[in-house]
Amino acid sequence: MELLEALIKDTRRKVFLILDNVRVHHSKPVKVWLAGREASVLSAQVQTSGAEPGGVA
């Protein structure tokens, strides 16, 4: 959570946070943290399993 706080600490612009399928990205603390920061953080989930290099599935 410290890393996430550091990402948005000194910025006035919206932060785009790209999350892969690492288990911690789906944890309750991360979801709660994101839920309270919609105005400053836009998150996106990316599919990692089954994807080929170069983004072509």
Encode burial over 2-37: b for 16+ CB neighbours within 10 A, e otherwise: eebeeeeeeeeeeeebeeeeeeeeeeeebeeebeeb
pLDDT tens-place string over residues 26-52 = 889 989 988 988 888 998 888 776 656
Q: What is residue 28's predicted lDDT score, i.e. its pLDDT? A: 92
Predicted local distance difference test score (pLDDT) of residue 20: 86
Give the pLDDT of residue 56.
55
Annotated domain spans of the chain: 2-49
pTM: 0.66
